[in-house]
A and B are shown apart, each in its own frame.
Chain A
Amino acid sequence: MNKHTAKVGWLLASPYLIYSAIFFLIPLFWALYLAFTNWNLISPEYETVGVQNFIDALFSPSVRAAFWVTYKFMLMFVPIVIAGSLILALIIHHLPRWKGLFAVGYFLPYLASGVASAIVVKGVISYNSPFNQFLRDVFGLDIDWLGSPTLAALVIVLMMAWKFVGYYALLFLSGLESIPKEVYEAAEIDGAVGWKRVWHVTIPMLYPSFYTVTILAVGLMFGIFTEPYVLTGGGPEYATHTWQLEIYNQAFEKLNAGYGTAVAIINSIVTFASIFIFRKLLEKWGGRHGWE
């Protein structure tokens, strides 16, 4: 290690260092200051207001809505996406041929822009669409999909599930491929075959994949913006009002920059706490199956 290599090292790392100074460190401290002001993004005059923004946020109906909507989404999204991606992974894993082809095909939704998929969803559930006509003619059902809070939330959740299920399936697939053959052979001797084998051998062996997918899925629910922004605008009755939508509305529609930053900080704390709790729960569940 000499002076010259040290210089080269810092020089090659410099894009990261410069970038982080401007686009990470400065905004980081600026945010911590902004959150305690009442700045409205435009006027040159503003003052510090202490923790008032945080207190206002905790009592704000829209922040509370974002808080609960996220868990409501999670309650639907996590089971759907885990069951779905596990099934896709099992299908791909057991196919004798064209595994790669199907894996790639199932991954395609991940490439879609949320805006484009919102346009398709809007068309598919529009009043005169073939889908709704079919529901009316065959079942006599006349459903206003985006008019009902529960259904609107379900539509957003299903859009997210469609997008991510093929991606998460790849995680389960790599988990499935890493289970040694001997484990299955030993299980067969013990009489575990068919669904019994899936339930008692495969699923417990997949614990690391479950762990990763659950944490990713939980984290994802705190970062939803595009789909509700385009399709529902957060409604009806705040039923699809996510954290990011709330922060965007406060800071850039109502121009409450200080308050919006405070909400962003609260959002981050809630996110960290939720992920922490999920990790602990998963580790407890894994511990019972011999995973540390």
Chain B
Amino acid sequence: MVGSKRWKVGLLYVLAFAVLFVMVFPYLYMVLGSLAPWDEVDRKLIPSSLTLRSYEWLFQGGEDVVPRPWLRAFFNSLLVTSASTLLMLVTAVMVGYALSKVTFKGRQWVNNAILFQMFYPSIILLIPLFLIVRYFGWYNTYWAMILPKAVNLWAIFMYTNFFRSIPDELIEAAKMDGAGHLTIIRRIIWPMSRSITTIIFLFLFMERWVELLWDMLVVNNEKMLTLNVLLAQMFGPYGGYPGPMYAASVLLTLPILILFILFSKNFKEGMQFILK
């Protein structure tokens, strides 16, 4: 009986590792492809030697005829994503606090408006949003990529629900001590929501980082492109240079992966709240 159980557990682990391999394989393939000699990329699964040629070629601007600003694109992605994510996080905490801990007339109305908006199909807004951005003169600027993505309804919704679970007594006690709302947010609310904040931050950052359609529409100046857009544009033209394309993919994947690994300690706890 014990023997058969052990055998079953062993089989389960074999299965678990096999699945893990399938999930991680594309990442491995990408890294190996970026480091392989150019005549072995997409020809051999395991390269015979490793080289940084693809990365060097990429950082020098790629093809000589029309050099592309790959590093600049990486910087653009970082700037746009960080600014946008920070704004989404700060506004979500503010609005979430207002909707859960400040009683004011019209609060329920705002709550309902947010719910309605969350389920409203955003695709209808795409074309007019583009027109608004162009009207404001933001076409080809960072503002076009940051401001229309400065508020996130899902994040507001999550924070509102989470703050509701923080007891009102804590806030009342702080008010007795003369603390204002901003102090309460900074000293009580913010430290208490660390685990959910890491998950919300991760999701917002990741979704912003991999955005393609919007960033593609509002920018056509090569210097302003995000890495994701530049990579999508070069997909066809760089068809003959798979090695550098893998190197750029690694560049595109690494920041999110690093963030995720840094935050994975809080992952399960935070996800449990989000999936509820």
Instruction: Answer whether A119 and B181 are a contact pair too, CB < 8 Å, given A226-B212, A243-B123.
Output: no
Interface status of B174 (Cβ within 8 A of chain A): no
Interface status of A102 (Cβ within 8 A of chain B): yes
Interface status of A207 (Cβ within 8 A of chain B): no
| CB-CB nearest 3 A-B residue pairs | A9-B104, A27-B128, A12-B98
Instruction: Answer whether A9 and B98 are a contact pair too, CB < 8 Å, given A91-B19, A268-B123.
Output: yes
Q: Find the B residue at minimum CB distance from A223.
A: B123
Q: How many residues of A contact B (CB 8 A)?
A: 82
Interface status of A260 (Cβ within 8 A of chain B): yes
Residues of B within 8 A of A (CB): 9, 12-13, 15-16, 19-20, 22-24, 26-27, 29-30, 33, 41-45, 91, 94-95, 97-99, 102-107, 110, 113-114, 117, 120-121, 123-132, 148, 150-151, 156, 181, 206, 209-210, 212-213, 217, 228, 231-232, 235, 242, 245-246, 249, 252-253, 256-257, 260, 264, 267-268, 271-272, 275-276
Q: Are A96 and B9 in contact (CB under 8 A)?
A: yes
> Chain B's interface: helix, strand, loop or mixed, by majority?
helix
| Shortest Cβ distance from residue B213 to the other chain A in the assembled complex, whole angstroms | 5
Instruction: Answer whether A115 and B43 are a contact pair too, CB < 8 Å, given A10-B104, A16-B95.
Output: no
Q: Are B127 and A91 in contact (CB under 8 A)?
A: no
Which B residues are in CB contact (< 8 Å) with A264? Answer: 121, 123-124, 126-127
| Shortest Cβ distance from residue B261 to the other chain A in the assembled complex, whole angstroms | 9
| Tally of contacts, chain A with chain B, CB under 8 A | 233
Q: Find the B residue at minimum CB distance from A17.
A: B110
Which B residues are in CB contact (< 8 Å) with A244? Answer: 123, 213
| Shortest Cβ distance from residue A69 to the other chain B in the assembled complex, whole angstroms | 16
5 contacts between A and B (CB under 8 A): A12-B95, A96-B9, A120-B29, A230-B235, A268-B121
Q: Find the A residue at minimum CB distance from B229.
A: A115
Please encode chain A, from 41 to 78, with 1 for each CB lying within 8 Å of some chain B CB and 0 for all others: 00000000000000000000000000000000000000
Q: Are B26 and A9 in contact (CB under 8 A)?
A: no
Interface status of A23 (Cβ within 8 A of chain B): yes
| Shortest Cβ distance from residue B81 to the other chain A in the assembled complex, whole angstroms | 12
Among the listed B121, B132, B231, which residue makes an inter-chain contact with A27, where contact means beta carbons less than 8 Å apart?
A: B132
Instruction: Answer whether A100 and B123 are a contact pair too, CB < 8 Å, given A24-B117, A91-B19.
Output: no
Which A residues are in CB contact (< 8 Å) with B210? Answer: 112-115, 226
Q: Find the B residue at minimum CB distance from A104.
A: B264
Which A residues are in CB contact (< 8 Å) with B9? Answer: 96
Q: Are B12 and A20 in contact (CB under 8 A)?
A: no
Instruction: Answer whether A88 and B19 are a contact pair too, CB < 8 Å, given A1-B104, A248-B213, A268-B123.
Output: yes
Additional A-B contact list (6), CB under 8 Å, known A19-B151, A20-B117, A170-B275:
A16-B91, A111-B206, A111-B253, A111-B260, A120-B246, A267-B123
Q: Are A265 and B23 in contact (CB under 8 A)?
A: no
Q: Find the A residue at minimum CB distance from B239.
A: A122
Which A residues are in CB contact (< 8 Å) with B105? Answer: 1, 6
Which B residues are in CB contact (< 8 Å) with A186? Answer: none
Instruction: Answer whether A112 and B253 are a contact pair too, CB < 8 Å, given A19-B91, A104-B264, A128-B43.
Output: yes
Distance, CA A258 to CA B272, complexed state (A): 43
Q: Find the B residue at minimum CB distance from A268.
A: B121
Instruction: Answer whether A123 and B33 are a contact pair too, CB < 8 Å, given A13-B95, A95-B12.
Output: yes
Q: Are A116 and B249 in contact (CB under 8 A)?
A: yes
Q: Are B125 and A123 in contact (CB under 8 A)?
A: no
Which B residues are in CB contact (< 8 Å) with A1? Answer: 103-105
Distance, CA A10 to CA B95, complexed state (A): 9
| Shortest Cβ distance from residue A207 to the other chain B in the assembled complex, whole angstroms | 16
Interface status of A189 (Cβ within 8 A of chain B): no
Which A residues are in CB contact (< 8 Å) with B114? Answer: 16
| Shortest Cβ distance from residue B258 to the other chain A in the assembled complex, whole angstroms | 10
Interface status of A26 (Cβ within 8 A of chain B): yes
Q: Are B206 and A109 in contact (CB under 8 A)?
A: no
Instruction: Answer whether A116 and B30 are a contact pair too, CB < 8 Å, given A1-B103, A16-B151.
Output: yes
Interface status of A15 (Cβ within 8 A of chain B): yes
Interface status of A28 (Cβ within 8 A of chain B): yes
Which A residues are in CB contact (< 8 Å) with B29? Answer: 120, 123-124
Among the listed A105, A114, A115, A117, which residue makes an inter-chain contact with B24, where contact means beta carbons less than 8 Å apart?
A: A105
Interface status of A202 (Cβ within 8 A of chain B): no
| Shortest Cβ distance from residue B272 to the other chain A in the assembled complex, whole angstroms | 6
Which A residues are in CB contact (< 8 Å) with B267? Answer: 100, 103-104, 107
Which parts of A22-45 form the interface with B (CB within 8 Å)? 22-24, 26-28, 30-31, 34
